[in-house]
Amino acid sequence: MAANAGRLKQVLNQTIDLDRTFHALADKSRRTMVERLTLGPASVSELAAPLSMSLAAVLQHVQVLESCGLVKTEKVGRTRTCRIERAALTAAEEWMTERRRSWEVRLDRLGDTLREESTMKERP
Amino acid sequence: MAANAGRLKQVLNQTIDLDRTFHALADKSRRTMVERLTLGPASVSELAAPLSMSLAAVLQHVQVLESCGLVKTEKVGRTRTCRIERAALTAAEEWMTERRRSWEVRLDRLGDTLREESTMKERP
């Protein structure tokens, strides 16, 4: 019972995380930040450099990325350094990969069925 | 110039598509529909079956999936059949995979640097 409750909690958490992760990625500026951060940690000013928006706006985007677990930040002195957290990105990628796999399995089965039907027709 | 304009339009379209695709996927019910549709086409009623919501609400979700190009629908008689469109899902998966690759390249380089530094220290 406790194991089931634990599993349910895990499933619910995963759902919430994917909702928030995909929501965070549904914005070009935030995707640009994630693209930059996969190359290595960066300060908020560095993230802001290629974007035409205020530092305050950039910080708001960073907070969205942080709240869904895609990014972790650490403030040392006056500099806030951002790092990508791979787990959230991996969870979203895994969801995508699973969909592609079930799609491919379906196409394989469809191919098998068509081949079988064509063999049946060719029989005298 | 025309080629550049074409490329710019393509980049802008891609951006808009990824924004809309990730937004569409940021909802558990819509992801459940996409999961079902990767197994094969389904009517709106079939999509509604595992979800505790009205047909009207399901139709609204289908429209979101259709507007971003993840799903195509066709109405024959009184039945609307939904099919997954692989291109939009592939574009989103490719964005994810690209991020993972640049992350892995970065980790490889970091590993090389650490190994080089450790070799330098070992030298007498």
- Binding-face residues of A in 26-45 toward B, CB within 8 A: 26-28, 31, 34-35, 38-40
Residue A47 Cα distances to A51, A58, A76, A105, angstroms: 8, 8, 17, 41
Contacts of A34 in chain B (CB under 8 A): 99
* Predicted pLDDT at B3: 63
**Residues A103-117: what's their mean pLDDT?**
85
- Residue of chain A whose Cα is closest to the Cα of B17: A26
d(CA B34, CA A47): 33
Picking from A19-33, A42-56, B71-85, B105-119, which range would have the lowest pLDDT averaged per residue? Answer: B105-119
Extract the tokens encoding B77.
């008689």
Extract the tokens encoding B19.
């924004």
Least CB–CB distance from A19: residue in B27, B35, B96? B27
Least CB–CB distance from A93: residue in B90, B97, B106? B97
Asked if A92 has any chain B CB less than 8 Å from its own CB, the reply is: yes
Extract the tokens encoding A54.
């205020």
* Predicted pLDDT at A109: 84
Cross-chain residue pair B38–A103, CB shorter than 8 Å:
yes
* Predicted pLDDT at A39: 92
DSSP state of B27: S
**Closest alpha carbon to B96 in A38, A45, A9:** A38
Total-model pTM: 0.81
Contacts of A28 in chain B (CB under 8 A): 15, 18-19
Cross-chain residue pair B26–A38, CB shorter than 8 Å:
no
Cross-chain residue pair A106–B39, CB shorter than 8 Å:
yes
ipTM over 0.85: no
pLDDT in tens, B77-123: 999 999 999 888 999 999 999 999 988 888 888 888 888 888 887 77
Instruction: Provide the percentage of residues in chain A whose pLDDT is more than 70.
Output: 87
